[in-house]
A = this chain, B = another copy of it.
Amino acid sequence: MATGTSELPELHPVLGFKLGTTSAGIKSADRPDLVVMEIAEGSSVAALFTKNAFCAAPVTVCKERLARCSPRYLVTNTGNANAGTGEQGLLDATQTCSALATLAGVEIDTILPFSTGVIGELLPIDKLLAGLPDAFDQLSESGWADAAQGILTTDTRAKGSSTQFGTDKPVTITGIAKGSGMIKPNMATMLAYVATDAVVNEELLHRALTLATEKSFNRITVDSDTSTNDSVVLVATGASGVIIDEESFDSFLENLCQVFTDLAQAIIRDAEGSSKFVTVVVDTAINQSEALKVAYTIAESPLVKTALSASDPNWGRILAAIGRSGIEDLDVNEVQILLNSVLIADHGARAPSYSEEAGQAAMQPEDIEIRVCLNRGDASEVVWTSDLTHEYVRINAEYRT
């Protein structure tokens, strides 16, 4: 199950950024599962990774290399996360990079490895190495849609977003992402790759990446389970010749945020077993941290999520989640709750104007907004999530077996 459209939007090529995809038989025969991306020389690259202490072997390798030099190739396999694999996992990640370095005629340190899939099993390194030449041969600036397919795991659809802005010399930003379960990114989502042809120096690019990630991938949760492999990479090839400086930064950031938010929301729309796309807004909080605490407690409450799956306006569960979210000196008599603009709770109890019929009607759409007004400050935050369905349990009870 999933919500919204399953169609991939048009993904504009980004000059200086190529993608090649093949089926190496890691996940299953004939399914694309190996993707190589080529970054033109002289590009800027910024990346963020999971804060999970058990980060995967490829994440460890990426972090080390990024500190040393600018990447030229990204190689991603799906079907196996190469996480919880100890010393052998690091060797396998290194061997993958070594093979690609030979193919491409570059230094091994310029290659970043990424993996996603089952945790705790060794990488099927022979299959991966055998598939590399074909992925390399497929490299093309129009390879985005195939690559969007090639990085999926339990996802039911490819996820991409693309925008062009500026009039004289337009700048392109295009990105793809994957993720469907084990989703509560902490610094980044499962895997996302975004490229632009703008000229952006690494300091500005890293600032843009951090700000855009904070408002997109760091605002979604499917199941509160932060993955071992979360990675997001932002590449600026500079091919358009349009220079992003302090002056044009805000406009660039705005467009970048749009692409990031599209990708983050696409992950929630394809959340495992989801039948609802849920926006949790907490406003009039004292500060952002308090607003986020309340928003996440609601978004991750199994009871709220199961009520959502039944289109049940069970606001008592939302109220209980607010109450246990641990914010200080909450005056419950000030709290209001709205479901798709219908005021259901006021002064901490059922609103006099509320009727069960109005609540039922408000819960029917696929897209639901839960809005909580704390009425004690000016801060506001938003988190996106999905509902908890039979299908989520089925997928996660059956996956890996």
Q: Which residues on A are within 8 Å of B, measured CB to CB?
A: 51-55, 81, 83-89, 118-121, 181-182, 184, 186, 223-228, 300-303, 306-307, 309-310, 312, 314-317, 319-324, 327, 330, 332-333, 345, 347-350, 388-390, 392-394, 396-398, 400-401
Contacts of A119 in B (CB 8 A): 316-317, 319-320
Residue of B at shortest CB range from A222?
B302
B84 A349 Cβ-Cβ under 8 A = yes
A223 B302 Cβ-Cβ under 8 A = yes
Min CB–CB distance A330 → chain B (angstroms): 4
Contacts known (A223-B302, A303-B396); A53 close to B322, Cβ less than 8 A: yes
Bound complex: CA of A401 vs CA of B349, how far in Å?
20
Contacts of A320 in B (CB 8 A): 52, 54, 83, 119, 182, 225-228
Bound complex: CA of A324 vs CA of B332, how far in Å?
31
A306 B228 Cβ-Cβ under 8 A = no
Residue of B at shortest CB range from A345?
B84
Contacts of A400 in B (CB 8 A): 307, 312, 314
Contacts of A327 in B (CB 8 A): 53
Of B324, B347, B390, the residue contacting A226 (CB under 8 A) is: B324
A309 B397 Cβ-Cβ under 8 A = yes
Min CB–CB distance A11 → chain B (angstroms): 31
Bound complex: CA of A323 vs CA of B89, how far in Å?
17
Min CB–CB distance A156 → chain B (angstroms): 18
Contacts known (A54-B320, A119-B319, A401-B310); A301 close to B225, Cβ less than 8 A: yes
B120 A345 Cβ-Cβ under 8 A = yes
Of B310, B319, B323, the residue contacting A397 (CB under 8 A) is: B310
A323 B53 Cβ-Cβ under 8 A = yes
Contacts of A85 in B (CB 8 A): 349-350
Min CB–CB distance A48 → chain B (angstroms): 16
A54 B348 Cβ-Cβ under 8 A = yes
Contacts known (A225-B303, A320-B226, A321-B225); A53 close to B332, Cβ less than 8 A: yes
Contacts of A310 in B (CB 8 A): 397-398, 401
Min CB–CB distance A311 → chain B (angstroms): 9
Contacts known (A86-B349, A323-B228); A396 close to B181, Cβ less than 8 A: no
Contacts known (A55-B323, A320-B226); A393 close to B393, Cβ less than 8 A: yes
Q: A52-B320, A119-B316 are in contact. List 17 more A-B contacts (CB 8 A).
A: A51-B324, A52-B323, A53-B324, A84-B349, A85-B350, A119-B319, A119-B320, A120-B345, A120-B349, A121-B316, A182-B320, A184-B324, A223-B302, A225-B320, A226-B324, A307-B396, A392-B393
Min CB–CB distance A380 → chain B (angstroms): 20
A303 B182 Cβ-Cβ under 8 A = yes
Residue of B at shortest CB range from A55?
B323
Of B118, B349, B389, the residue contacting A393 (CB under 8 A) is: B389
Min CB–CB distance A384 → chain B (angstroms): 17
A316 B84 Cβ-Cβ under 8 A = yes
Contacts of A350 in B (CB 8 A): 84-86, 120-121
Contacts of A51 in B (CB 8 A): 324
Of B86, B300, B302, B393, the residue contacting A390 (CB under 8 A) is: B393
Contacts of A316 in B (CB 8 A): 81, 83-84, 118-121, 228
Contacts known (A119-B317, A393-B389); A349 close to B89, Cβ less than 8 A: yes
Min CB–CB distance A74 → chain B (angstroms): 23
B348 A401 Cβ-Cβ under 8 A = no
Contacts of A393 in B (CB 8 A): 306, 309, 388-390, 392-393
Of B54, B181, B186, B300, the residue contacting A319 (CB under 8 A) is: B54
A319 B120 Cβ-Cβ under 8 A = yes
